[in-house]
Structure 1
Amino acid sequence: MGKLLVSSALLSAVLISAQIDFSSTRFGITAGGTYSRVSNAHNPSGPRISAYGGVLALIPVDNNDQFYIQPQVEYFGAGESGKDKNAKGTLGYDAVYANNYISVPIYFKGFFSEAESEFFGMAGPRFSFLIDQKVTNPSKAYYAVDELSAYPGVNGKASSFNFGVGLGIGYSYQRKLELAVRYDFGLSNTYKGLMNEPGTDPNIAKKKSEQVLSVGLSYIFE
């Protein structure tokens, strides 16, 4: 909660101090693929490949067409699978731990120059609200969402809210068609119910952090 408050305060300070021109806001659509993992959670643990898609707004914060605030609203697929390359043929290798969110990243976006076609960087917080969780073929019964666990307090239910920070880099063609690569690092504990999982592995007591690498295209309307 403290990290969320600090990040929100910093974002508010940026918005207040910036020369925001809402009248010149442009809107767009965005979509792409995601490659996600969760640290210290399931065993075996591997990546999940999914997708994202949504809408964005591009809000100028200077008079030089170089710096912007870019909020987005996305359907965002994350989570992980059991596809550890060292676990082929074992129980749980075919597991999928799918977490799907309505996600709201808010990026500060800067182009490297004022040219119409140019590279850009972006960074900012991401607020994600769980709308669906599906677990198939788990390696342990209590990894499932609705399974009654023999261990009190141990369960595989994902947190309803996740907070993280994202970094990205991309290329814009004539400030309309854009290709971007983003990396989002979760600061929340995605699976609090697995903190007391039985076993001696020291990773059990560690925070379950969700990380997502995504690649996608955006089209920004005039």
Structure 2
Amino acid sequence: MKKLFLGAAVAMSTLTFAQQFGVKAGMNVSSLSKDASMDDAKSKIGFNAGVFMNAPLAENFSIQPELLYSQMGNKATTTSTSTIGGSTITTKTSGSTNLDYVTLPVMFQYNATPAFYLEAGPEFGLMVSGKSKGDRVTTTTTSGGTSSSTSASASVDIKDNLNTFNFGLGLGAGYYFTPNVGITARYVAGLTDIAKDRPSGSDSVKNNVFQVGLAYKF
């Protein structure tokens, strides 16, 4: 029994000694799984940045919890046309859903080589900001061919209507050019609906994000 406790103590001290800390930052390419209100939903560019700790679990396996600030959401457009009194009215709306989170990914990494690893694990997120921004341009064309346009912009805080907790599953890889500097890539598929009160029978909307960036170990 003493040998068992002694071995556990040695293992724990080795794990603590082998821990590495670092910082990382990069680009997010995010989207929402479904947005029926928009005809042409597109990915939105954002950023992620934060800190991490990497600790070995076995010879080729390690665990890496992270604390990141991560921008998600999407961009989209709608176009509608109507005819009133011989004039054609075209309304084009372009907007973005901007969802900012503090996330806690916990990645389990398989070190295929000393420099290259594969990873998978859960990601927990807490929304800190949720806004919808849009621009609307209305063009009126008369039967004689004369046209005129008006435009308007708006920004609405939508955080109160959204689920502030986000849960996803991440898959990724990384390569360290040196013992300290590496490149990382990860895709996180959201598993929770972003809406707080989803009407019965309607489809859920989930965050999806591809991340690429640089990491530096101290």
TM-score normalised according to structure 2 size: 0.73
Give the match for residue 119 of structure 2. 122
2-structure distance, mates of 1:206, 1:35: 22
Give the match for residue 212 of structure 1. 209
Match of 1:43 among 38, 41, 60: 38
Which structure has more helix as a fraction of its residues?
1
Q: Does the 8 Å CA contact 1:60/1:67 hold for their aligned counterparts?
A: yes
Give the match for residue 196 of structure 1. 199
Runs of 4+ residues over 2 Å off in structure 1? 89-93, 143-146, 155-158
TM-score normalised according to structure 1 size: 0.71
1-structure distance, mates of 2:34, 2:23: 34
Decide whether aligned partners of structure 1 residues 90 and 109 sit closer, same or farther in structure 2, where only a CA change above 3 A counts: farther
1-structure distance, mates of 2:157, 2:22: 35
What runs of 5+ residues in structure 2 fail to find an aligned partner?
Answer: 1-10, 81-89, 137-154
Q: CA deviation at 1:192?
A: 3.9
Q: For residues 108-147 of structure 1, what are the structure 2 equivalents within 5 Å? A: 108-113=108-113, 115=114, 118-137=115-134, 144-145=156-157
2-structure distance, mates of 1:191, 1:209: 9
Q: Does the 8 Å CA contact 2:32/2:205 hold for their aligned counterparts?
A: yes
1-structure distance, mates of 2:186, 2:110: 14
Larger-gyration structure (1/2) = 2
Letter in 2 for 1:208: V
Give the match for residue 150 of structure 2. none
Give the match for residue 56 of structure 1. 52
1-structure distance, mates of 2:134, 2:160: 13
Q: CA deviation at 1:144?
A: 4.4
Q: Does the 8 Å CA contact 1:22/1:60 hold for their aligned counterparts?
A: no
1-structure distance, mates of 2:33, 2:52: 29
RMSD of Structure 2 on Structure 1 (CA): 2.7
Q: Does the 8 Å CA contact 2:38/2:77 hold for their aligned counterparts?
A: no
Q: Does the 8 Å CA contact 2:77/2:92 hold for their aligned counterparts?
A: no
Q: CA deviation at 1:158?
A: 2.4
What runs of 5+ residues in structure 1 fail to find an aligned partner?
Answer: 1-18, 147-154, 198-203
Q: Please give the secondary structure, in 1, of the residue aligned with 2:161.
A: coil
Identity of matched residues, %: 26
Which structure has more strand as a fraction of its residues?
2
Decide whether aligned partners of structure 1 residues 60 and 83 sit closer, same or farther in structure 2, where only a CA change above 3 A counts: farther
Q: Please give the secondary structure, in 1, of the residue aligned with 2:17.
A: helix
Letter in 1 for 2:175: Y
Q: Please give the secondary structure, in 1, of the residue aligned with 2:92.
A: coil
